[in-house]
Amino acid sequence: MSKVCELSQKRPQTGHRVSHSKMKTKHRFLPNLQKKRCWSSELQKFITLRISTAALRTVDKVGLDNYARKSNLKLS
């Protein structure tokens, strides 16, 4: 399963872990993805999404249908 948010399209980022002696090692920063059932009032059914917690907070504020419309996503 890919580590991509289905609504916000957040993906893993790369960077460095920096030790006390300033040695740098490669590191992947993964998005905090959660599996969540969200209600779509337009479709009148629950949709299971793999969604980042930041996008989940936005969905709680503006609603799933408004967020999908703003992101040009089609819910099915």
- CA dist 68 and 7 (Å) reads 7
Task: Reply yes or no on domain 13-70 having CATH 3.40.50.700.
Answer: no
Q: pLDDT tens across 43-63, in order?
A: 999 999 999 999 999 999 999
Q: pLDDT tens across 64-74, in order?
A: 999 999 988 88
pTM: 0.83
Strand partners, 17: 25
Q: What's the one-letter identity of residue 63? A: G
- CA dist 30 and 62 (Å) reads 25
| Direct distance between the N- and C-terminal alpha carbons of the chain, in angstroms, rounded to an integer | 19
For the chain, give every domain's residue range. 13-70
Q: pLDDT tens across 12-33, in order?
A: 999 999 999 999 999 999 999 9
- CA dist 6 and 4 (Å) reads 6
